[in-house]
Each structure stands twice: as structure tokens, then as C-alpha cells.
Structure 1
Amino acid sequence: MRARNILNLTLISGCLLLAGVSLSLMSPFYPTEALTKGVTVTQSGFVIGSVFISTILFTPICGKYIELLGARNFLLVGSFIVAIGNIAFGFLSEINNSKVFFWSSILIRVIIAIGESAMTPACYALASQQLGERHQGKAISLAEACFGVGTMFGPSIGGFLYQIGGFSLPFWIAGGVLFLINMSAIICLEDKSDMYTRLEEEEGITWKQVLCAPGVGVSLFGLAFAGSAWSWYSATLEPFLDSAYGLDPAQTGLVFTAFGATYTLFTPMFGFLADKGMNGISALILGNSIIGVGLLFLGPIPPFFGISGNLWLSVLSIGVQGLGSAATYLGSLLIMMKGVKDAGLPDTEQVKTMVSSLWIVADCAGGYAGSTLGSIAYDNVGFEYGTLIEAGALVFTVLVMGSLAFSGYTTCRKPSTETQEKEKSEKRRLIQEYEKNGRTYGS
């Protein structure tokens, strides 16, 4: 691997790390700060959740039209928006009017989410180019691990910086560091797009083609449920640990890091196994199975009340879920990348970014549903029975995906070999025509 590829991958990973931090940075301290401004906890929930809704809305748009600017430029523009948005968010502490504070928070969070919707899919598309097809799993797993590290450790970082410097410091640090990475990327990040990519992009890939690719539907299904699992107890773990073990919010933050630690540790391992031939659907089924097992012992669930009262068991359960998520998240993305290729879609930035956009949307949709339904379950049936419900949902996904894998199911029929050969022949003809006449297709 060339030094330039290493530099590219480092910059891409740095952007994803800060994107993850930006996504979860405010959760430990924003509700408390908002209360001092006259903003209710429910309104704070809308502010925190607005990023998921905005990401779901804008990520597919950015993924579909990435060819207008290219993945590199989408990354640069998106990271710049996120950096400036975080810096601006830090100034909200100067606003004392509750309505102005609330609506300004919503507005800036939506702007930040738009930037993340542009930069995150572009990062995955660019990362997959750096190590070649044979090592694509390692590149994507590294990028995904960095985003996961940022997301999982964002609350701890935010809480620590908040204790040191108050409300503004976490946002100014996150925005400032990302701004510096963005400036470095402008100078150093290599643009690998060329005229052949542009020729293929002229075909105009549709969302239906991507969604109908083999394995895409089942990957989105499994990923959404996995995304709901890690957010299921995001708002309820703190009161549970407080009542069961007397932990304060800072100690609860340390418990949350068990997920991030195992997720970060095992994501590269599953990337290595994928490059060695591990089947993506196997990783997906294995991952959701492990997450389901982890949920059984988080409370633990009612049938295991006899072993309750052990903090180490809850910490171990969260760590096990991080292991399962590493397999599911990476496995689902690799299945989708392979599926669009098997469907005969061109290997372009646009297609890769549309795939990663769908992947992000499924994760965010699951995260939003999990945090909402998990809180409702806590209020109605308690923490232990609530995790039993989510564990049952994960078991359901394993049974569905296992049945589909056994039956050889794909979302849509692949193009015939003859059709694919005709398409390749036509592409070669267009490229030869371009080389001969010196003009782009369609001009």
C-alpha cells in the first residue's frame, strides 16, 4: 500500500471519528443545561433525536447525487458544515430565552446532520478504494470502527470536557479538530475519480436497482434491529444502574464504554475474517444472535432473576453486545457492497455511496425506534422485561435471516450473464469511442 493511500485512509478515518463524536457528544449534559434555560426534558429529547430524523431524510439524497461533486468534495463540504455547526452550537450558552434556545438548537442540529449526511457515505466510498478489492473488508472495517469509536465514546468525551470547561468547550473542541482535519484533507486527500467513472455514472443508477440487489433487503432488516438494540437502553440504563447499584451518571458513562471497547476491538477482526472468506450473511446472523444473548443478561431478564445484583454481569452483557454489533454492522455493509456488484451495477463512487447511505439510514431508523420504544417499555413494564422484549426481537431477526439464507433468497433476480456481458461490451465501446474522438459520452 502506498504512503498516499495510508494518508488518505488516516484522514478519512479521522473525519468519521469526529462525525461519530459529533453525533453523540451532547447526550450527557445538554438536558441539564437546557433545563437551566427553561427547556423541558421532552424538548431536549426532540433536539437530540432531530439528528436521526434529519440523517434519515438527507442521507439518501446525498448518496444519490454524490456524482455531482464527487466523493472527495462531498467529504470536504460535509465535514466543513459539521465543524462550523459544532462551533456555532457552542455559542448557544449565551442565549437565555427558552424558545430561542430550543429552536436554535434544533436548527443547528439539523444543519450538522446535513453535513454528516454528506460526509459519512462519502467516507465509506473513499475508504473502500484505498486498499484494493482484496482488502476491502479491512478498509471498511477500519472506517466503521472509527465511526463506532466516536459514537460510543462521544458521551464520555462530552461529559469530561463539559466538567472542565462548561457547555461550549465540547462543541468547540470537536468542531475545531474536525476543521483542522478538513483543512489537511483539502491539501492532501487524493481525488481518484476519472473519466471512466464519469462514463459509468452517466447511466443514472436508481434506488430501486440498489434496493433490489441480492442481500440488500435482508441486510437492512437485520441492521435496523441491531441499531435498535444499542439504543434501546440509552435513556434507561442510568436510572436502572442507579436504583440497582447506586451508580452516578459518571460511573454509568464508564459502563457504556464496555460496548465501545469491544466494538472497536472486534470490528477489525471481523474485517480480517471477511477478507479471508467469511460469509457476510453468516456474520449478520452471528452478530444478531450475540446481541440477543447479551440482552438476556443485561437486567438480567426475569427467568434469570436468581443471578441479578451483579454489576459485572451487566457490564459483561454490554460488552457482549458490542462484539455482536461489530459482526452485524460490518457484515451487513459487506453484503450490500457485494450485492450491488453481483447485480451488475457499476463499481462507482455513486453506487458505493448509495449503499452506505442506505446502511446509515437503516442504522439511524433502528436507533430512533430503539430509544423511543425502549423508554416506553421502561415506563410500562420495567427495565428487565423491556430488555426481554428486545431480546425476543433479535431472536426473531435471526430466525428470519436464517430461513432466507437457507432458501437462497435474494431481493430481486440478478441480470442474466448474457445481459451483463452486453452491458460490459457497450461500456467498452463507449470508452473506445471516447479515446478515439476525444469527447465524453452524450456530448
Structure 2
Amino acid sequence: MRTVGFRRNVPTFSGTKMKFTKRHWFTLALIGSVHFASAICISLQAPFYPPEAESKGATATEYGFVFGVFELVSFICSPLIGKYVNVIGPKFLLKSGLFVAGICSMLFGFLHFVEGHAEFIGLSFAIRIVESVGASAATTAAFSITAAVFPDCVATTFATLEVFYGLGYIVGPMIGGLLFSVGICLMGVLGVLGVWGRLEWKKHF
């Protein structure tokens, strides 16, 4: 069985003030970006998906379920992922979860090329379900890593991560609407950022 191997160089306290090293700040920012991106995955489609679904003949109930299935799958998967996080390994869960969620987010943008009501709704459900599994794996691993790296200030760091999550909810619809209206494909930029993040992660961990 694997264990979370991040409990080195934990933050120290001087009186009541926490002392973070550069590695701790980098870890907090990196894990915060995971929560930020996971929240964006939930809210990114809000501005453009309902009218697009209606143009394919979908009802409000149908595309409402497409939005809701993300949280439903997360509700079911998160406890299971948390149970086996030490067996699978938090690093692998984090990287694979981000990869799956990112690919699904990009695939969701190509749904307007799908003709036919049943095919459109079916693929929408399939992509959102897989995306939710990936995002749940990433956030669960992120919480596990955070608890291991910041064992003496878990409450503070978790609260900080919730700020990142809230910001993702706020900017997600704006980013989704902007990208859909402009019609620019940012897959190349996302790929470069993904490679950079992977290299930085290997450098620090």
C-alpha cells in the first residue's frame, strides 16, 4: 500500500505566525490551481450550452440533467476515490484526473458539430460523467496532498483552497462565454501550459 509521501519540510511556526518556504507557497498555488480549474469545469458551459442544446431539440429538463449529473457523479465517486487514494497514489490521481477533465472540457466544445438530438444529449452526458470522475480524482488527490504537506495548518490551507474554488465558479461562465463567442481554439496554449505544469511538478516533487 502506498502512503502519501509529502510530509517533509512542513511549515513551521514562530509564535503564532506560520513560516512557509518557497516550496510550500508553490505547492499551495499549484493545488489552488487544481481547485480553480475543477470549478471552471463545472461552470464553463453555462453561457453557451443551453441555447446550443435547445437548437438540437433538447428540453430544459434534459440539459438541466446534463449540468446536474456532474455533481451527482462527484457525490458518488469522491468517497470511493478517497478510500483508495493511498493505494492508487495521490500523484497519479492528480495528474490523470487533470488530464481526463481537461480533455473532456475540450471535447465538450465540439458538441455543436453533433447532429441529432439523441446523439447530442447522449454524448453530453457521457463527456460530463467522465469529466466529473477526472475532476473528482484531481480534487480528492489535491486535498490529500494538502493535508500531508500542511499538517499543522490544515484549516487555513483548506479555506484558502475554497477561495480558489469560488473564483473558478465566478470566472468560469465568463471564460466560457468569451471563448464560445470569439470561437478561438486554445488547445495549443493549454498544451503548452500542461507541459510546463508537468515539468514544474516533477522538479518540485
| TM-score for the superposition, normalised by structure 2 | 0.80
| Partners of 1:85 and 1:175 within 8 A in 2 | no
Post-superposition offset of 1:174: 8.8
Q: 2:124 aligns with which of 74, 84, 105?
A: 105
Letter of the 2:125 counterpart: I
Distance 1:26 1:97 in 2: 20
Corresponding position of 1:86? 105
Corresponding position of 2:179? 161
Distance 1:69 1:161 in 2: 35
| Partners of 1:80 and 1:115 within 8 A in 2 | yes
Counterparts of 1:288-303 in structure 2 under 5 Å? none
Post-superposition offset of 1:84: 0.8
Distance 2:151 2:129 in 1: 35
Q: Identity, % of aligned pairs?
A: 29
Deviation per residue, 1:306-341 (Å, 9 max, x gap): xxxxxxxxxxxxxxxxxxxxxxxxxxxxxxxxxxxx
Query: Is 1:152 equivalent to 2:170 in the alignment?
Result: yes
Distance 2:192 2:84 in 1: 26
Q: 2:54 aligns with which of 35, 53, 71?
A: 35
Corresponding position of 1:75? 94
Counterparts of 1:116-155 in structure 2 under 5 Å? 116-133=135-152, 135-155=153-173
Q: Which runs of 5+ in 2 are unaligned?
A: 1-19
Instruction: Determine helix, strand or coil for the equivalent of 1:122.
Output: helix
| Partners of 1:76 and 1:185 within 8 A in 2 | no
Deviation per residue, 1:199-256 (Å, 9 max, x gap): xxxxxxxxxxxxxxxxxxxxxxxxxxxxxxxxxxxxxxxxxxxxxxxxxxxxxxxxxx
Q: 1:144 to 1:175 in 2, by over 3 A?
A: farther
Corresponding position of 1:186? 198
User: Across the two proteins, how many residue pairs are aligned to each other?
Assistant: 184
Q: Which runs of 5+ in 1 are unaligned?
A: 192-443
Deviation per residue, 1:137-170 (Å, 9 max, x gap): 33212211111110233123222332222xxx5x
| Partners of 1:38 and 1:98 within 8 A in 2 | yes
Counterparts of 1:12-411 in structure 2 under 5 Å? 12-133=31-152, 135-165=153-183, 173=186, 177=190, 180=192, 182-189=194-201, 190-191=204-205
Instruction: Determine helix, strand or coil for the equivalent of 2:31.
Output: helix
Instruction: Determine helix, strand or coil for the equivalent of 2:110.
Output: helix
Corresponding position of 1:254? none
Distance 2:196 2:145 in 1: 16
Corresponding position of 1:6? 25
CA RMSD, Structure 1 to Structure 2 (Å): 2.2
Post-superposition offset of 1:188: 2.8
Q: 1:91 to 1:176 in 2, by over 3 A?
A: farther
